[in-house]
């Protein structure tokens, strides 16, 4: 099978120079390995993602020769929810009704009991970062939220399930997601999925040395 890369923007703003660097890096590495790059739109956050941002992103990405159809995450909520239910059946999830201010709400976050999840896996977790074995430490994240009453999935769950579903062998993305990779390898084990190779590249800074953001392209 050909090496497979992906670029997975969230349409909650416009692409900035950092994103373009990331797409180019994906294509550069894919070319070197005679691989291909897929495009995925990560639009599960329906309060922040907007069709006009998606249109602008697709327009900006037109010069890049992506392979195959675009996968749009908002079209697959039922798939993610079913997989999360699988973890629930293992007794690894609980509903947290506490609000940010310490009150109790009707709404809830569906959280992963981190200690129970690690006990369930009961083996060293690691990923391969630029060819080097890197120990994962998901415990630092505590009980991560995997879904909410209003949104039946989360970034972590959807990204892990889609990378596997799309047979992604190489994840090339910004250093801002390096630490989150610990959560991703834990979820890959819990869902019985293979782990791709990872390459977290440096972030592109603006002239003042600050990190670029979508509101500040
Ligand atoms: N959708 C994420 C973002 O726009 C990127 C996810 C990933 O590359 O794993 O920041």
The tens digit of pLDDT for each residue in 51-92 reads 999 999 999 999 999 999 999 999 999 999 999 999 999 999
Q: How far is the CA of 122 from the centre of ligand 1 (A)?
A: 28
| 22-47 CB burial, b ≥16 within 10 A, e <16 | bbebbbebbeeeebbbbbbbbbbeee
pTM of the full predicted structure? Answer: 0.94
Backbone angles phi, psi at 10, to 5 degrees: -105, 125
Q: What is the pLDDT of residue 213?
A: 64
> What would the pLDDT profile of 189-201 be if each residue is shown by its tens digit?
999 999 999 999 9
Ligand 1 pocket by Cβ (under 6 Å): 8-10, 42, 159, 173, 177
**Among 14, 20, 71, which residue's Cα sits nearest to residue 44?**
71
Task: Report which ligand 1 atom has the smallest distance to the Cα of 176.
Answer: 10
Mutate to test the pocket of ligand 1, among 21, 37, 70, 159 (most ligand atoms within 8 A of CB): 159
Q: What is the pLDDT of residue 214?
A: 61
> What would the pLDDT profile of 7-65 be if each residue is shown by its tens digit?
999 999 999 999 999 999 999 999 999 999 999 999 999 999 999 999 999 999 999 99
């Amino acid at each position: 099978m050909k090496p497979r890369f992906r670029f997975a923007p969230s349409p909650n703003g416009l692409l900035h120079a950092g994103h373009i660097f990331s797409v180019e890096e994906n294509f550069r590495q894919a070319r070197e390995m005679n691989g291909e790059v897929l495009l995925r739109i990560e639009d599960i956050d329906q309060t922040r993602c907007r069709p006009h941002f998606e249109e602008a992103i697709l327009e900006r990405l037109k010069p890049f020769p992506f392979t195959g159809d675009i996968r749009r995450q908002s079209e697959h909520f039922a798939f993610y929810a079913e997989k999360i239910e699988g973890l629930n059946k293992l007794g690894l999830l609980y509903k947290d009704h506490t609000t940010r201010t310490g009150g109790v709400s009707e709404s809830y976050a569906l959280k992963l009991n981190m200690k129970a999840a690690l006990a369930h896996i009961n083996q060293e977790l690691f990923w391969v970062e630029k060819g080097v074995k890197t120990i994962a430490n998901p415990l630092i994240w505590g009980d991560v939220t995997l879904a909410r009453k209003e949104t039946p999935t989360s970034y972590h769950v959807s990204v892990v399930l889609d990378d596997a579903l799309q047979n992604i062998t190489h994840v090339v993305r910004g250093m801002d997601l390096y630490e989150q990779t610990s959560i991703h390898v834990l979820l890959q084990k819990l869902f019985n999925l293979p782990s791709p190779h990872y390459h977290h590249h440096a972030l592109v800074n603006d002239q003042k040395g600050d990190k670029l953001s979508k509101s500040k392209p």
